[in-house]
Amino acid sequence: MPELPEVETMRRGILAVEGATITAAEKVKCRRKPITISPGMSTIRRRLVGKKVKQVGRIGKRVFLQMENNDRLLFEPRMTGLVLVADPPSQQHVRFRLEFSHGEKEVLYWDRRGLGMIYLLNDQQYQDRFSLKNLGPDALEVTGKLLKEIFGKSKRPVKVALLDQKKVAGIGNLYASEILFVAAIHPAKQCNRITMSQWDLIAETTIEILQTAIEHEGSTLSDGTYRNALNDPGGYQNMHRVYDKEGETCPICMDSVISRIVQAQRSTFFCKSCQKRS
């Protein structure tokens, strides 16, 4: 967390800075665990201040500002990072600030645990780092045919495979459980045993769930960490079917209860009746 819908919500929340010129870049003093900022702030200021934002974009689970010279400043929130334009959840966890030329706009990066990263890449560095050999296609653009090409020969459990960002970018633990539940695929089923029609269904379900989650501005879980760019909670958590619902009645069959297993050190939630392994 955050996953594709939350990061896409962050991107949309700061779209107003497109076309604005950066007037200041500041690493905010923080007594908490420092985040990684690369290169150093003097270099970041030299390359950003006075430059116009050409595009606010997203690559996988990262938000970026693309400048007029194609330098890109990337925010990688990881577990607890937020990209904000409004008052942050707490002042002591603000790590980075950008100021802009018009409308009194600013962008803040906030991170409670300090696990996130901010880095500035030139165009060639960006292309090298995010080529298809290093980052898979965006989850909003997958097809059944593409998923079969990527995973069809793998013996990995499908839930674990969907989390591999080098194969498909943007799906995390929460949405993988939700996708497989709606597609009625057991999370431990090996990829090489999934049929073409099932891959089609996984692809269709992936796009439907992620787009719906974006429309509801992502999921704010019980810890309350994730917030949109205006420091408001998301709404998709109210539509979760299985995630973090161990022991609750399945909303589809209304007979079995939601089970929890651990895969690759992550919790997976599913219904044994609706998602049969055979």
Given the residues 27, 52, 266, 272, select the one marked as catalytic. 266
Q: Which residues contact 262 (CB under 8 A, 6 or more apart)?
A: 268
Strand order in the sheet with 94-100: 22-27, 94-100, 106-111, 81-84
Active site residue 2: yes
Tally of CA atoms within 13 A in the half-sphere of 56 that contains its CB: 17
Active site residue 266: yes
Active site residue 3: yes
Given the residues 58, 61, 241, 245, select the one marked as catalytic. 61
And the tokens for 101? 């030329």
Element spanning 57, H or E:
strand 53-59
Active site residue 18: no
Phi, psi dihedrals of residue 169, rounded to the nearest 5°: -100, 125
Given the residues 2, 5, 157, 187, select the one marked as catalytic. 2
Q: Determine the number of helices (DSSP H) and then strands (DSSP E) in the chain.
A: 7, 11
CA-to-CA distance for 277 and 178, rounded, in angstroms? 16
Residues labelled as active-site residues: 2-3, 61, 266
